[in-house]
Amino acid sequence: MTIRPIRITGDPVLRSPAAPVTRFDDELHELLTDMVDTMRAAPGVGLAAPQIGVSQQVFVWEWTDDDGILQEGAVINPTLHVGPLERRKADPDEDLEGCLSVPDFRYPLVRAKRVVLRGTTPLQTPVQITAEGWLARIFQHEFDHLQGTLYVDQLPWRLKRTARKEIRAEGFDAPGQSWLPGVDDFESDHEAEEA
């Protein structure tokens, strides 16, 4: 079990599109194992490879839905078809989102309620998952990471301005910063809701 440092918002790897995976080998298997271990330790519900400094199109997720069913998996080289986005103001409770690469901050963001995720499993088989609700939010959040986008980049302009000020005040906008779950004191007072 290896827990890797999670890169913080100012790191350039989080701001560049990730490269497609071309080799399904032991190194990829090790990366996926480390990603799951890191996500669980944080704790979070999703993690994209760029968040641990690896610019590859890979993300993992693990979340228990309201029916007690564990939703978990890994996808490689994904595409995401996003359903319609409602034109409404974000609800501060229902739409509250966080990110392990923007630790300890939460902002509401309207997301599409339904998505279709396509990609490849670690066993090189095609996968297609239709997701709604919170799982759809997780997929959108993690897919955005692979495009070099953070959820705070998509906030409405007034809230985005507030978020930038708060992130800058915390010193998170500088490159090269990271935190290590289980060592650093981030996210410890939040339930596993981060991606």
Kindly list the distances between the CA atom of residue 105 and the CA atoms of 3, 24, 114, 139, in Å, as whole numbers in the listed order: 22, 35, 25, 20
Q: Can you tell me the distance from the alpha carbon of 4 to that of 39, in angstroms, rounded to the nearest whole number?
A: 9
Q: Can you tell me the distance from the alpha carbon of 37 to that of 107, in angstroms, rounded to the nearest whole number?
A: 26
Model confidence pLDDT, tens digit, residues 142-154: 999 999 999 999 9
pLDDT of residue 65: 93
Would you state the structure tokens that stand for residue 69, as one six-digit string? 């069913």
Would you state the structure tokens that stand for residue 66, as one six-digit string? 């309201």
Looking at residue 25, what DSSP letter applies?
S
Across the strands, what pairs with 62?
Answer: 72
Q: Is the pTM here over 0.75, yes or no?
A: yes
pLDDT of residue 187: 76
Active-site residue (options: 62, 97, 142, 194): 142
pLDDT of residue 192: 46
pLDDT of residue 51: 98
Model confidence pLDDT, tens digit, residues 3-30: 999 999 999 999 999 999 999 999 999 9
In the predicted model, residues of the chain with pLDDT beneath 50 are: 191-193
| Residue 142 bears catalytic tag | yes
